[in-house]
C-alpha cells in the first residue's frame, strides 16, 4: 500500500518556466486594460481627480482604480524575470548577464525613444517650458522618472508621468539579478532564499506604513522605489515557489479563485483610503501572485479566459499601449474639448489602437526579432 501524497511537496528537480505561457499574456492584457480604462478621464478633463467619465457611478467606480493594473504588472515582471534568470543560471553558460541586459534593452528602449522624441515635438508645439521637458526626458531615459516626480513634484511633464512605473521596474532589474545569482552561487537553499525574500517584502511593507504614519504624501508612497518594490519581490517569491514547490492543482485552482475575488473586492471596496498604503499594496501583490502561480501551472479555471486570443494579443502589445495612451489622452484632453464625452473616448481608443499597432509592427517587432536571434536564452549544454 502506497503512502498518501501530500498536497504540497518540495521537488529536488527545479521546474523551469516554459518559454511562452499564453495565460500570462492574458494576465498582462487584463493589467494594461485596467490602466487604459482608468485613464479615460484625461480625454474629457485636465483635472486629475475628475471621475465622472460616464453618467453611472458604478461604471465610473469600475473604471477608476488603474493602480491594480500596475500592481499586477509589477508582480508579473518579478515572476518572469526571476524565472528567466534562474533558468539561465541553471544552464550555467557564459554571458548570462550580457544576454539579460541586451534583451531588456532591445525590448524596452526602441519604443521608449520613439515616444520621448514625439513628446519633445508635442512640447515644442504647445510651448511647454523646455527646462522641465529636458529634465523629464533625461530622467525617463535613465529610468528615474519616479524620482524626478518626487524631487520636482510641481515641475514634471505630466504626459510622461506614467513612466514612473517603468523606472521602478528597471531599477529592480539592475539590482535584483546580481543579488539573485549571488544567492544561487552561495548555494543558499531554496527555502532559505524564499524566507529572505519574504522578510524583505515584510520590511518594505512596514517601511511604507511607517512613512504613511509620518504624513509622507500618498503620491510619493505610490511612486517611490523603496515603497513599491515589495510587489516585484512578491513576483520573485512566487517564481521560486513555482520552481521548487509542487502544489496540488485543486488547491491552486481554489486559491486562485479566492485570490481573484479578493482583488475584485479590493477594487470596489478598499481602493480608497489608508488600507492601500498600510499593507494593501502587499496584499494585492500576494493575491495577484497566487493567480499568476496557478495560471503558470495551467491549474486555474480562469485560464480559459486568459488564453482568449484578443486578450492574449492585448497582452503582447501591452508595452506600446502603456507607453502611448497617456500622451494621446492628455493631448486630446487639452485640445479636443467639444462634442459628447462618449464620442471623444471612442476616438481616443481608436487613435491609441492605431498608434499601438504602428509601434508594435514598425518599432518593437523588428528589435524583438533581433533580440531573439542574437541574445536568446542559453540552451542546455
Which whole number is the average pLDDT over 227-253?
97
Residue 373 buriedness (CB in 10 A; 0-12 / 13-18 / 19+)? exposed
Least confident interval from 11-15, 64-68, 340-344, 356-360: 11-15
According to the model, what pLDDT value does residue 367 have? 95
For residue 138, pLDDT over 90 is answered with: yes
User: What mean pLDDT do residues 247-253 have?
Assistant: 95
Can you give the pTM of this predicted structure?
Answer: 0.93
Strand partners, 246: 9
Dist CA 293 CA 21 (whole Å): 11
Task: Identify the band that residue 96 occupies on the pLDDT scale cut at 50, 70 and 90.
Answer: confident
Distance CA 106, CA 96 (A): 16
Q: What is the pLDDT of residues 22-72, one digit of tens each?
A: 999 999 999 999 999 999 989 988 777 677 677 667 677 777 777 899 999
Alpha helices in the chain (DSSP H): 22-38, 41-44, 57-63, 67-91, 96-125, 130-141, 145-151, 164-185, 190-213, 218-223, 225-244, 249-265, 280-296, 303-306, 309-316, 318-335, 341-359, 365-374
Per-residue pLDDT at 1: 43
Q: What is the mean pLDDT of residues 129-147?
A: 94
**The 3-state secondary structure of 145-192, one letter per residue:** HHHHHHHCCCCCCHHHHHHHHHHHHHHHHHHHHHHHHHHHHCCCCHHH
pLDDT at 55: 67
Q: Enter the C-alpha cell of residue 23.
A: 495565460
Say whether pLDDT at 234 is over 80.
yes
Q: What is the pLDDT of residues 156-189, one digit of tens each?
A: 888 999 999 999 999 999 999 999 999 999 999 9
Q: Span 327-342, mean pLDDT?
A: 91
Amino acid at each position: 500500500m502506497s503512502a498518501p501524497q501530500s498536497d504540497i511537496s518540495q521537488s529536488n528537480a527545479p521546474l523551469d518556466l516554459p518559454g511562452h505561457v499564453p495565460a500570462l499574456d492574458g494576465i498582462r492584457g487584463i493589467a494594461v486594460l485596467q490602466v487604459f480604462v482608468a485613464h479615460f478621464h484625461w480625454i474629457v478633463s485636465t483635472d486629475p481627480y475628475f471621475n465622472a467619465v460616464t453618467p453611472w457611478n458604478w461604471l465610473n467606480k469600475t473604471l477608476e482604480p488603474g493602480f491594480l493594473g500596475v500592481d499586477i504588472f509589477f508582480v508579473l515582471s518579478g515572476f518572469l524575470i526571476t524565472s528567466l534568470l534562474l533558468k539561465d543560471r541553471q544552464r550555467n553558460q557564459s554571458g548570462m548577464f550580457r544576454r539579460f541586459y541586451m534583451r531588456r534593452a532591445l525590448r524596452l528602449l526602441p519604443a521608449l525613444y520613439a515616444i520621448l522624441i514625439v513628446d519633445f515635438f508635442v512640447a515644442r508645439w504647445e510651448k511647454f517650458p523646455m527646462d522641465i521637458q529636458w529634465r523629464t526626458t533625461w530622467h525617463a531615459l535613465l529610468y528615474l522618472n519616479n524620482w524626478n516626480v518626487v524631487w520636482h513634484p510641481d515641475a514634471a511633464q505630466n504626459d510622461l508621468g506614467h513612466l514612473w512605473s517603468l523606472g521602478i521596474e528597471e531599477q529592480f532589474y539592475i539590482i535584483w539579478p546580481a543579488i539573485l545569482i549571488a544567492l544561487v552561487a552561495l548555494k543558499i537553499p531554496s527555502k532559505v532564499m524564499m524566507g529572505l525574500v519574504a522578510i524583505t517584502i515584510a520590511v518594505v511593507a512596514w517601511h511604507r506604513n511607517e512613512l504613511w504614519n509620518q504624513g509622507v504624501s500618498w503620491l510619493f508612497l505610490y511612486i517611490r522605489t523603496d515603497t513599491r518594490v515589495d510587489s516585484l519581490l512578491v513576483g520573485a517569491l512566487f517564481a521560486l515557489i513555482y520552481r521548487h514547490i509542487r502544489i496540488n492543482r485543486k488547491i491552486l485552482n481554489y486559491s486562485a479563485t479566492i485570490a481573484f475575488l479578493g482583488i475584485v473586492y479590493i477594487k470596489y471596496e478598499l481602493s480608497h483610503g489608508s488600507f492601500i498604503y498600510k499593507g494593501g499594496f502587499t496584499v494585492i501583490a500576494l493575491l495577484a501572485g497566487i493567480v499568476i502561480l496557478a495560471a503558470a501551472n495551467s491549474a486555474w479555471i480562469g485560464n480559459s479566459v486568459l488564453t482568449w486570443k484578443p486578450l492574449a494579443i492585448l497582452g503582447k502589445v501591452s508595452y506600446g499601449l502603456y507607453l502611448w495612451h497617456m500622451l494621446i489622452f492628455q493631448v486630446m484632453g487639452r485640445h479636443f474639448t467639444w462634442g459628447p464625452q462618449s464620442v471623444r473616448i471612442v476616438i481616443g481608443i481608436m487613435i491609441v489602437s492605431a498608434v499601438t499597432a504602428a509601434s508594435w509592427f514598425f518599432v518593437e517587432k523588428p528589435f524583438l526579432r533581433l533580440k531573439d536571434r542574437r541574445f536568446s536564452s542559453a540552451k542546455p549544454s
